[in-house]
Chains A and B, each alone.
Chain A
């Protein structure tokens, strides 16, 4: 399976909102409501911030939100804070219990 497509970088100032896209195909993103997003500070364990396209795990602030339209999913981080600066990866179920990740987006808080 091919990797999902994410922009390599995104940025925003503190307090602003930024949206990261994740484009796949009808065999993964478009075919299932099983898109997840992970926040990764290098050197640390990745952290789940969104699952099932729109759901936030307990403890993740509501500044993080997810959506999907067709074959493209999106992660929006509102009210940017310094600690939001990290790499973000999308992931989609791709049928027959296979998973495919995106290439990652480096979010910079200016």
Chain B
């Protein structure tokens, strides 16, 4: 059974970098049928797609975060990571990692999600 587990600091200071890791178990991070993505949910708000990464390192990012965002994958350790720089209070959210289906070159949906981790940006 696939399991995704987010990990990282729960508190980040403004202007610093938010770093999270998603560990993948029970399935191959090197699958050629899937991308691996990040989604966040600010308090009281809806979901927002952040970005996605393939096991080769190819990435797609939400344009609203481009310039601050980097998503990478480490196939030897079976995890992928999110780095978001220059954070503000607006980046406070529950961050979810999820597996994304690759269908004829498109990434249409997430079929499996982690439980999520709350990251608060505050001094």
Within 8 A of A (CB), among B21-79: 39, 45-49, 52, 60, 62-63
Task: Give the number of residue pairs across the A-B interface with Cβ within 8 Å.
Answer: 71
A57–B101 Cα distance when bound, in Å, is 12
- Nearest CB in chain B: distance from A99 CB, A: 4
Find the A residue at minimum CB distance from B109.
Answer: A36
Say which one of A12-20, A43-51, A67-75, A76-84 lies at the interface with B.
A43-51
Which residues of chain B are near A46, meaning CB under 8 Å? 47, 96, 98, 110, 113
A44–B94 Cα distance when bound, in Å, is 11
- B115 contacts partner chain A, Cβ-Cβ < 8 Å: yes
- Cross-interface CB contact of A51 among B46, B63, B109, B114, cutoff 8 Å: B109
Interface size on B, as a range, is: 20 to 34
- A10 contacts partner chain B, Cβ-Cβ < 8 Å: no
Find the B residue at minimum CB distance from A34.
Answer: B108
- Cross-interface CB contact of B47 among A1, A32, A91, cutoff 8 Å: A91
Supposing A36-B109, A93-B108 touch, asked if A103 and B49 sit within 8 A by C-beta, the answer is no
29 A-B pairs within 8 Å (CB atoms) are namely A3-B46, A6-B46, A34-B106, A34-B109, A36-B108, A45-B113, A45-B114, A46-B47, A46-B98, A46-B113, A47-B113, A48-B111, A51-B101, A51-B108, A51-B111, A52-B108, A52-B109, A57-B111, A89-B47, A91-B47, A91-B49, A91-B110, A98-B60, A98-B62, A98-B63, A99-B107, A100-B49, A101-B47, A102-B46
Q: Identify the B interface with A (CB < 8 A).
A: 39, 45-49, 52, 60, 62-63, 96, 98, 101, 106-116
Q: Identify the A interface with B (CB < 8 A).
A: 1, 3, 6, 32, 34, 36, 38, 44-48, 51-52, 57, 89, 91, 93, 96-104
